[in-house]
Chain A
Amino acid sequence: MPNTGPEDIKDRFEAYRFFNGLAVEGKEGLDAGHTRIPLVKTFLLEHVSGKSGRTPKPPAEIFSNLRVKLSQIDDTFHSVQVPDENAQGSPKPMVATGFLEQYDERFFAYYTVVHSEDARKLVRGWITHSADLDSAWFSSQLLQTLWDRDVSHRGDGRIVKFTFKYDSIFEMPEDAVQATEEEDDADVPEADRDDKLEVERTWKARSAVSDRIGRIKKALGTLQQNYSALHALFSLRFPSRRGHGSHDLFQHGQVTNRSDSFEDHRNTVRYLYRAYKSVLQATEEVAWNKVEPLSQSKKSGLNIKGVPLIIRFKEELSEATFRRWMALAFQKKNIFRLWGEPIELGPTKVHVYGADRHLWQPINLEFTSKGLVAILPQGTCGNTFHRLVTNIQRYVSPEIEAWLGSKPFQSLADGMPSEQEAHDEK
């Protein structure tokens, strides 16, 4: 992997200028119909320790355990170097791959111009190997809310783009259960701008729709009613408020810059960070449901086991699909990242008193052909709920209803900052 960042920079603005130069060149490439250089992209990461009862760690400590060298540029901005896996010998030389900005104690943004596939592999490796880090999970429901409340109001004449992904767990080959994450074609080629449906394999429904906002507003609801896979939103394009260019937001918290300004890109990422953070806070307020005891002098079993996440599938799974799901969901390296011993209570009902493999915290789950109930302990990070919902829509049932306690899952975004904030952020 070659160096893909300036070395020995004096301040963060030098990095911004570097990314700006690439952004201009990248935008020119996009305008010409092909990308000459990799686009600038950001991965929004969550430090899960911050809210889960573990002691928060500074980024240098988190990343040193991942063989990543962070060099501080200012209080919250670091350059990132990783071992060059393509180099011979040991130890492998370090190469610069981008920059890490700490937005707050809980959220980091990793800016890079490494090619998408390599960048995603690198970030996925960090998350897999660290119980301190997770992606910011923009579930299909959250992407839909961002479309409904924000993107659809950015001007009927602007071009927007959706991608949809539904990988049927029933039809998925055994080896794909572990491999499918490796294949996220996050940067869908610009050639997919037209409305063509792209079905690559029988178990993978892939659609990409690009058109003017006004036209999509009129058609999307009807299309989703007729084809449930269109509820499995995987990415959403945000037309830039500067009038040209855009930013693609993906489910796993990647934002790709298709504008000619890094500052505009960073502002969009900051806006999405605030939106996601507000949703997480709302999630945790509901999930933890703290109630004061009647008597301060006596402990009680208040709110035992927290508030449940309830997911109902619009279409009941067949018994065969359910059995397949259960057979695959608890393999060692499963896409749901769950651990546990399934207890069968009927042909289409299973209870698991297990653990979330990513954060390593207990989770109790009820699986049926009609839905899922999850009970997570007090203090569970809000993103665990969003990861579950994301994975259910992606692999099991694209059209769902979900509630956290008595609240519809989508209502967790009610307190999201208004779309205007993206414009106001400096």
Chain B
Amino acid sequence: MKNEALIRDPVFQSNLLLWMVKEQPSTGYRIRPFFFENGFRLVYIEQPFAFPEEIARAIEASTLNISKAPEPEMILARDTDKKGLYFEAKADSFTPDSSNSKQARGHLLACGTAFAETLTPLQLALLCYLVPKDCCPPMAECLANLTTELQSAALAPGPHSVHGLEVVARDLVYTWDNAFKQHSGATEDSVAVLHELQDDTDPSPLLLVFSDQDCPNQERAGYYRRVLINQVIAKLVSDLNLLPIEQTYTITARELLQQTTDGTLNYLALDRQRNMIRIVRKNIFDRIASFWRDKSFSPVQLEADRLQINFKDNLAKGELMDWLEDPKRTAFTDQLPPSDQPLLPGIEPPQERVT
């Protein structure tokens, strides 16, 4: 994928941010752990912000269009001075007229007095919008306008900053503004976080959060879903290899995804949860069940959303595992299943996301 396109890819952006807070060596790092080096650690990922009662009421009473549960990419905390960083990543800047402004207003309010109330003992937050570097000036202007607008409505938005991504020679450079410098104590204006970029190589690190979305590179649109599917298959292959003979393994698509996403599935938007569950159900469970349906003494049963496997002996186990461990034979597709097909009756519906 062209590196310029990658810096606009939301999946790449959010994974980059997560790697920047992941503990890594000061030399030899995969992605420069800039936030880790500056004392920040991850406390929330893709979790909707819960407003205190009074502010939630004020939002409801306001004539402005404001998200009541804005969902940041991640929230970081620094224990030493109880400061927080609240991140949102976007492919482009937008204007106050944009539909994105509803969420942006919510983010701004989340970083005001609401932040310390909800996330005690943290005290001060800074909203950080990450966009491609050339989008930083219009993004800053938009956030300033939204701040004025909220203040005019007697609401209390918090401070904000704008961060940029750009490719400079063979480096991916992460930049920030004065607001971030003051809040974090960083003395530089930018830092190269990824080095030795090459035209023929996708510089993405291993994905830490997964997506049902198309990869912007149309030549491999299903790449992110392939990663999601491979993660789930790896978990299935591991669990089933450890499964004793004549013992039943039973699991739903949701349970598998909860395990492979470290429990973050429940915090995702409902349509994203639904798509991810649909991929596991349709592309994996259905494929396994249909392949084994006509086999005599099939160890596989699929009842509604629940996959059940029971090996009667080692031969049956060996047969299924040989198949499941061979990507050429399983050939799980990474196409997004049609969303116009309702989930079959009895299939576990997506739960209300946790807020």
The answer to whether A308 touches B30, judged by C-beta atoms less than 8 angstroms apart, is: yes
Residues in chain A near residue B113, CB distance under 8 A = none
The answer to whether A373 touches B30, judged by C-beta atoms less than 8 angstroms apart, is: yes
The answer to whether A304 touches B209, judged by C-beta atoms less than 8 angstroms apart, is: yes
Query: How many angstroms between the C-alpha atoms of A312 and B234 in the bound complex?
Result: 26
Pick the residue among A289, A355, A373 that contacts B205 (CB under 8 A).
Answer: A373
CB distance from B119 to the nearest CB of A (A): 6
Pick the residue among B23, B230, B260 that contacts A340 (CB under 8 A).
Answer: B230
The B interface is mostly helix, strand or loop, or mixed, namely: loop
Chain A 323-365 residues near chain B, CB threshold 8 A: 332, 339-341, 343, 345-349, 351-355, 360-365
CB distance from A257 to the nearest CB of B (A): 35
Query: How many angstroms between the C-alpha atoms of A371 and B30 in the bound complex?
Result: 10
CB distance from A339 to the nearest CB of B (A): 6
Query: How many angstroms between the C-alpha atoms of A192 and B14 in the bound complex?
Result: 56
Query: How many angstroms between the C-alpha atoms of A354 and B241 in the bound complex?
Result: 13
Cβ of B325 within 8 Å of any chain A Cβ, yes or no, is yes
Instruction: Take A294-B121, A406-B23 as given contacts and tell me if A304 and B238 are in contact as well, using a CB distance cutoff of 8 Å.
Output: no
Residues in chain B near residue A131, CB distance under 8 A = 241-242
Cβ of B263 within 8 Å of any chain A Cβ, yes or no, is yes
Cβ of A293 within 8 Å of any chain B Cβ, yes or no, is yes
Chain A, interface size category, equals 35 or more
Cβ of A89 within 8 Å of any chain B Cβ, yes or no, is no
The answer to whether B238 touches A355, judged by C-beta atoms less than 8 angstroms apart, is: yes
In the complex, the chain A residue whose C-beta lies closest to that of B229 is A353
Cβ of B262 within 8 Å of any chain A Cβ, yes or no, is yes
The answer to whether A304 touches B264, judged by C-beta atoms less than 8 angstroms apart, is: yes
Query: How many angstroms between the C-alpha atoms of A4 and B242 in the bound complex?
Result: 33
Cβ of A157 within 8 Å of any chain B Cβ, yes or no, is no
Contact indicator per residue, chain A 268-307, by CB within 8 Å of chain B (1) or not (0): 0000000000000000000001010111000111111101
The answer to whether A300 touches B28, judged by C-beta atoms less than 8 angstroms apart, is: no
Instruction: Take A293-B43, A346-B201, A403-B28 as given contacts and tell me if A305 and B208 are in contact as well, using a CB distance cutoff of 8 Å.
Output: yes
| A-B CB contact pairs (8 Å), 30 listed | A54-B242, A131-B241, A294-B77, A294-B119, A299-B354, A300-B45, A300-B47, A301-B47, A302-B42, A304-B18, A304-B209, A305-B208, A308-B24, A310-B29, A339-B237, A339-B325, A340-B234, A343-B226, A346-B200, A353-B206, A353-B207, A353-B230, A355-B238, A360-B237, A360-B241, A362-B260, A365-B206, A373-B206, A375-B208, A406-B33
Residues in chain B near residue A21, CB distance under 8 A = none
| CB-CB nearest 5 A-B residue pairs | A346-B201, A301-B45, A405-B23, A353-B230, A345-B202
Residues in chain B near residue A289, CB distance under 8 A = 23
Chain A 97-146 residues near chain B, CB threshold 8 A: 131
Cβ of B46 within 8 Å of any chain A Cβ, yes or no, is yes
The answer to whether A294 touches B122, judged by C-beta atoms less than 8 angstroms apart, is: yes
The answer to whether A300 touches B201, judged by C-beta atoms less than 8 angstroms apart, is: no
Query: How many angstroms between the C-alpha atoms of A371 and B29 in the bound complex?
Result: 11
Most buried by A among B25, B202, B325: B25
Query: How many angstroms between the C-alpha atoms of A361 and B29 in the bound complex?
Result: 25
Contact indicator per residue, chain B 208-226, by CB within 8 Å of chain A (1) or not (0): 1100000000000001001
Residues in chain B near residue A375, CB distance under 8 A = 206, 208
Instruction: Take A294-B43, A312-B28, A360-B242 as given contacts and tell me if A307 and B22 are in contact as well, using a CB distance cutoff of 8 Å.
Output: yes
Cβ of B90 within 8 Å of any chain A Cβ, yes or no, is no
Query: How many angstroms between the C-alpha atoms of A290 and B259 in the bound complex?
Result: 18
Residues in chain A near residue B204, CB distance under 8 A = 345, 351
The answer to whether A310 touches B202, judged by C-beta atoms less than 8 angstroms apart, is: no
